[in-house]
């Protein structure tokens, strides 16, 4: 709290909120609230500023960032391959399989850090393309299932139709969880310069 008593620090943080209000016009009013606290020196509401900036444990872990980077890479390869398909083949694949990235759910505690990092990448133009909404949007649970399928092809520059069918979740199969499969995602990163999230999760069983 002592840091916010320093006018120079308050000015620095104010400028950050000012920048965010320009980059994220949908949140302009929220940022204006924080800027008013800083300019008026409302000590009682300094905790709101600190909570907004970052509370303990809210940092985006490197493993999360690596996992999001891998997901973006995977979907970029999938969408690139789909775009080069013949029109009839493309229609079959897009109708039957989840080939588009649906983003993350900010209301899901397990996805909030993924959502934060992905929005950071979008804000600074480090993501090509946008997430798309489907009748059934995929969750982190489904993305990790797809990563497991993607592992054998992660060093390939392009993906074949057969590989895409292998990697992508079939529409209508989203809820078919038949048994728990435990996966150490750090194995996927060997030789790839990444250490993807490592934790036990439930995954869709292969049919």
Residue 24 sits in a domain whose CATH number is 1.10.287
Quote the pLDDT of residue 205: 43
In sign, the C-alpha dihedral spanning 98, 152, 158, 140 is positive
Q: How far apart are CA 135 and CA 145, in angstroms?
A: 19
Q: How far apart are CA 132 and CA 26, in angstroms?
A: 19
Give phi and psi for 130, each to the nearest 5: -125, 155
Q: How many domains does the chain have?
A: 2
Cut 0.75: pTM above it: no
In sign, the C-alpha dihedral spanning 122, 126, 130, 136 is negative
Say whether both 68 and 166 belong to one domain. yes
By residue range, what is the domain housing residue 156? Answer: 62-189
Say whether both 41 and 69 belong to one domain. no
Q: Is residue 204 part of a domain?
A: no
Quote the pLDDT of residue 184: 53
Say whether both 86 and 105 belong to one domain. yes
Say whether both 172 and 83 belong to one domain. yes
Q: Is residue 195 part of a domain?
A: no
Q: Is residue 28 part of a domain?
A: yes
Say whether both 121 and 168 belong to one domain. yes
Angle, alpha carbons 90-96-98 (nearest 5°): 90
Q: Name the residue with tokens 């480090």.
A: 126
Q: How far apart are CA 182 and CA 98, in angstroms?
A: 23
Q: What is the mean pLDDT of each run of 10 residues along the chain (207 residues)?
A: 77 90 87 89 82 63 93 96 96 96 87 86 74 76 95 95 96 70 48 44 44
Task: Locate 60 and state its tokens.
Answer: 């985006």
Say whether both 91 and 11 belong to one domain. no
Q: Is residue 198 part of a domain?
A: no
Q: Is residue 141 part of a domain?
A: yes
Residue 84 sits in a domain whose CATH number is 1.10.3190.10
């Amino acid at each position: 709290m002592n840091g916010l008593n320093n006018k120079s620090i308050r000015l620095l943080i104010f400028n950050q909120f000012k920048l965010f209000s320009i980059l994220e016009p949908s949140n302009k009013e929220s940022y204006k609230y924080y800027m008013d606290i800083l300019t008026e020196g409302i000590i009682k509401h300094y905790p709101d500023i600190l909570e907004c900036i970052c509370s303990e444990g809210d940092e985006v872990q490197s493993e999360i960032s690596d996992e999001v980077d891998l997901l973006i890479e995977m979907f970029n390869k999938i969408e690139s391959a789909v775009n080069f398909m013949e029109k009839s083949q493309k229609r079959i694949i897009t109708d039957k399989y989840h080939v588009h990235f649906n983003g993350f759910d900010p209301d899901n505690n397990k996805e909030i850090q993924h959502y934060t990092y992905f929005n950071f990448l979008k804000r600074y133009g480090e993501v090509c393309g946008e997430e798309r909404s489907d009748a059934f949007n995929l969750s982190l649970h489904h993305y990790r299932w797809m990563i497991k399928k993607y592992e054998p092809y992660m060093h390939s520059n392009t993906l074949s139709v057969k590989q895409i069918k292998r990697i992508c979740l079939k529409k209508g199969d989203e809820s078919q969880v038949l048994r728990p499969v435990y996966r150490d995602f750090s194995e996927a990163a060997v030789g790839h310069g990444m250490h993807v999230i490592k934790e036990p999760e439930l995954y869709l069983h292969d049919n």
